[in-house]
Homo-oligomer: A and B are copies of this chain.
Amino acid sequence: MPKQNQYEFWPKIVLPIPNMSPSNTTIRDVARLSGVSPMTVSRVINDSERVSPETRRRVEEAISELGYVPSRLARGLSRQRTGTLAVIVPDVANPFFTAVVRAAEEVARRADYQVILCDTRADLNVERDVIDELIAHRAEGVVIAPVSDRSAAQLRRLAEFGVPFVLIDRTIPEIDCDVVLGDSTGGARQLVEHLISLGHRRIGFIVESDDVSTARDRRRGYEAALSAAGIALDPALVAHAAPDPSGGSAGMRRLLELEDRPTAVFTVNNLVALGAIEAVRAAGLEVPDDVALVCFDDIEYASRLYPFLTAMEQPAQTFGTLGTQLLLERIEGRGPERRHEVVLPGEFIVRKSCGAK
């Protein structure tokens, strides 16, 4: 259960503050001090161009004397580019997305872009608002792990405004753009086949709503594994739940209440697994003894402390770096005519939760 925030309603204090000097030096001030035109100063701060060494020296002197820093706003307005790009994820606190964001931020910074971070909390409305804001901000591109297929509307809006974007982790059927994905179907199949190889026949699946591509694809993998093993699909074993710990708990509780309950469970991601495990324990049972468990995505720090989750680990950082690189290519007008669809293989890591050996 997330900590309640006792200071949510911190009492408002209304008092005057000692205003600091909003030191607003402009290019014209620099020009005046160094006895040249603003245009020449502009040339100096943008390097390049032909400026005599002597003039350049004088201008640079004036700049450092006045502590002048050019305004990105003005520059952006006039150049029609902001040097800003956005990363949108449904939950930064999910270690998978944290890694994505971190990597994206680094790539962007190296390419001299600033990053606006947006956490949609898997809420379609927040996502819409956030995207509108980004359009207003004239962000030059967006790396986004969309909330669901219904994000299509807002992505089309981005496209209308000529803002390139790259989807990561999730595709959206009608949206045609660069994409960086994991191998959800294959990975899921491998996980479930592993459970089957351990002798499990009744295998549950806790998954979020079917309008998220990863959920669909992983369900597909789950079904493929079952059918390949000649196990009939029992719809009662598929529990739909929110893609977070509380959803995982709820889903697992439902599965445990079944008459003929599963002996193993596959969860759609790491946080769902976490909640599911908590539910198993709350029911006085244990993983993997009473219920074996496998999932997608690792929880790095947890696994280092205690290698427990048998998981299909995805290269989260690569999602971030690669997604951002593809985006930068689009922004800079490079990038192939045809869209890029990169599928990154996961790494199957067997640990305790599946009960192997």
Contacts and interface: CB of A to CB of B under 8 A. Distances in A.
12 contacts: A3-B318, A6-B318, A13-B340, A14-B334, A20-B160, A67-B161, A73-B76, A92-B102, A95-B301, A98-B98, A102-B119, A117-B117
A118 B84 CA distance: 13
Interface in A120-146: 130, 132-133, 135-138
Contact of A162 (B20, B71, B301, B315): B20
B17 A335 contact: yes
Interface string A337-354: 100100010000000000
A155 interface: no
Contacts of A92: 92, 98, 101-102, 105
A306 B304 contact: no
A70 interface: yes
Nearest to A126: B109
Interface stretch (A47-55, A191-199, A215-223, A325-333): A325-333
A13 B336 contact: yes
A79 to B, nearest CB: 10
Interface stretch (A35-43, A251-259, A271-279): A271-279
Which of A13, A119, A136, A302 has most B Cβ within 10 Å?
Answer: A302
Contacts of A318: 3, 5-7
A4 to B, nearest CB: 9
A12 interface: yes
Interface of A: 2-3, 5-8, 10, 12-23, 67, 69-74, 76-77, 82, 92-93, 95, 98-99, 101-103, 105-106, 109, 114-119, 130, 132-133, 135-138, 159-162, 164, 245, 270-271, 274, 277-278, 299, 301-302, 304-306, 308-309, 315, 317-318, 321-322, 325, 329-330, 333-337, 340, 344
Q: How often does this chain occur in the complex, in copies?
A: 2
Contacts of A102: 92-93, 119
A130 B108 CA distance: 12
A7 B93 CA distance: 24
Contacts of A330: 17
Given A299-B302, A321-B5, A321-B7, A93 B98 contact: yes
A183 to B, nearest CB: 15
Contacts of A305: 274, 277, 299, 302, 306, 308-309
